[in-house]
Amino acid sequence: MVIARGSRKPGANSKKGNARVQGKTLHKTERKLVGNKKKPGELPKTERKLIGNRKKLGELPKTERKLIGNKKKLGELPITERKLIGNRKKFGELPKSGHESENIRLNKYIASTGVCSRREADEFIRAGLVTINGKLVTELGVKVSPGDVVKYNGETLKEEKKVYILMNKPKDYVTTVEDPHAKRTVIDLVKGACKERIYPVGRLDRNTTGVLLLTNDGDLTKRLTHPRFEKLKIYHVQLNKNIRHSDMEKIATGMTLDDGFIKADAINYADPVDKTQIGVEIHSGRNHIVRRIFEHLGYEVVKLDRVYFAGLTKKNVPRGEWRFLSEKEITMLKMNAYK
């Protein structure tokens, strides 16, 4: 139903059809904001900003279009929006905030101080080497609250300063903290960079080069590596022979490997002449996934270089070198601003 300029039909049901305010068609989300108000001038400033004089959805900023769009079902929303909305129907079902959310598991707290890993912390707890506020703790799963004094072997533990290092990984280095069977690890390249105990985020094969993040921030590591967050990786691939266009289409549309279905987000030639060089965008973090895709089609990967990971690139970082992330980069990563 349409309401004419400056008038409203008595008894009209505003929930049906497209409501209009001063001749402007409002979408469902905007109708909810407007309610029974007839003029944009009567709306609060923030609401007027949304509506303004815009007549079409296409005139709205990208972030507003994303929220409004033409999406009718929750399943059509991006994963980040579904996460916010989910199936929660009541305010009481939303995550709790405040001091309760600040409590963390004891093993995680110990690991955050740089003393050891979480698994090793569990062993120390079982061995009776840890106290909280002077009381011996041997049970796993105990949580630490703000202000608690945690001691290991009689020494008070304090959380480490968070460190973030971007490396351009070279070949023949293993992506691990320590490996008795490996001659060289990526940690060897950053010795002396900081006193904190850092570790690589995710894995790159020994012969894979490119962007690698090292940190001691466990929460960020989880967000960057867990499949649910779908962080984008871009690889420059060199093959042993020219790739057929039909095989590129197979990679783009998807195929089934031993561990399930997989497809690239995008694939193209990286060089207009050399058809052995390919650029691949992919979200999957499954082991050796890029190599396995090409091997499945009968190609051998000669070189594999990761040029992009979760918003980070190797620009101005020579092979085998590293740098600390900027405050802006750290903030963007923590805000989940990069795809």
Exposure b/e, 18-30, CB count within 10 A at least 16 = b: ebbbeebebbeeb
Q: What angle do CA 129, 135, 139 make, to 5 degrees?
A: 60
* 122 is an active site residue: no
Per DSSP bridges, beta strands 208-215 and 301-309 are parallel
Structure tokens at 135: 């009381």
Measured in degrees and rounded to the nearest 5, phi and psi for residue 29 equal: -65, -40
Pairing relationship of beta strands 135-136 and 255-257 according to DSSP bridges: unpaired
Taking the alpha carbons at both ends of the chain, their separation in whole angstroms is: 41
Selected catalytic residue, list 179, 205, 247, 265: 205
Distance between alpha carbon 4 and the CA centroid of its chain, in Å?
47
What region does 52 belong to: left with phi over 0, alpha with psi -120 to 50, or beta? Answer: left
Buried b (16+ CB within 10 A) or exposed e, 241-257: eebeeebbebbeeeeee
- 186 Cβ contact list (under 8 Å, min separation 6): 167, 169, 173, 174, 175, 176, 200, 212, 214
CA pair distance 179, 173, nearest whole angstrom: 11
Q: Which residues are catalytic?
A: 205
